[in-house]
Structure formats: structure tokens, C-alpha cells
Amino acid sequence: MRVLGLDFGSRTVGVAISDPLLLTAQGVEIIRRERENKLRRTYARIEEIIAGYGDVDRIVLGYPKNMNNTLGERAGKTEEFKAALERRCGLPVILWDERLTTVAADKAMTESGIRREKRREYVDEIAAMLILQGYLDNCRQK
């Protein structure tokens, strides 16, 4: 059994996957699209990734809350993406608070010595890993 982690952005989706023991999250890729509303290929690629692993039983999707715990426009788009994923993939999609994951991803890359120009290429994948790792850690604590 594995869990797929997603960081849904306006033009990218960072993708991470858990190991079979549900201990760690590893980055898979960043799915890019030219326009925000062009999601058909994004859904198809997510379905391919799920089929490739074969044992994914749920998806954890980063939920962008504001720092004061309110929901903004991006949260609404994430909820629409969640509903479409559930319809297309037939898997439960769990919304997971993603506050500060992009900041944490950027900080981790800075501390690792990755140049600013290269950080943009990887930030969404690392954010997906942090979202998924937070979910996995929370599940182990329960």
C-alpha cells in the first residue's frame, strides 16, 4: 500500500509517493501545464503514475489555507481538483493543510546549497514530499 502526495498549483502539480511501509515520502516529478484550466493531461498523468505503482490506495492533496485559517480562492480550486480526482481515479483524496510547505521547501533547498535559479524547478516536488511526509507522520502518531 502506498499514498500519493500532490501539491496543486496554478500551473504545476508536485508529485510525491510514499514507500510501501508508509514511512517516507519521495519526490516523483512535477507535472507542468501551460494554462491554469488545462487539466486533462494533468489528470491523465496522475492516473499513469497511480497505475505505474499499482498499490496506491489514497491521495493526499495539499490544502492551501491562509495563515489565519481562512480559505481563499486557491482553496476553492483545490476542492474542485479534489472532486475531479476522486471521480477520475476512484481513490479517496484527503485534503492536508499545506501552510508553509513551499517556504520550508525553499529553505531546505537554500540550506542544501541549491542555487536560486534551480530552486524554482524543484520547489513543487519538494512541497509535495513535505505535505505527504506530514500526513504519514501524523498517521504514525495516531
Where is 89: in which H helix or E strand? helix 73-89
Domain extent for 6: 2-69+93-141
Number of domains in the chain: 1
Q: Is 31 inside any structural domain?
A: yes
64-79 confidence digits (pLDDT tens) = 877 777 777 788 899 9
Instruction: Report the CATH number that the domain containing residue 50 is assigned in CATH.
Output: 3.30.420.140
Q: Mean pLDDT of all residues in the chain? A: 87
Q: Is 53 inside any structural domain?
A: yes
Per the structure block, which three cell numbers stand in for 57? 490506495
- State residue 24's pLDDT score: 95
Q: Is 78 inside any structural domain?
A: no
Q: Is 130 inside any structural domain?
A: yes
Whole-structure pTM value: 0.86
Per the structure block, which three cell numbers stand in for 81? 481538483
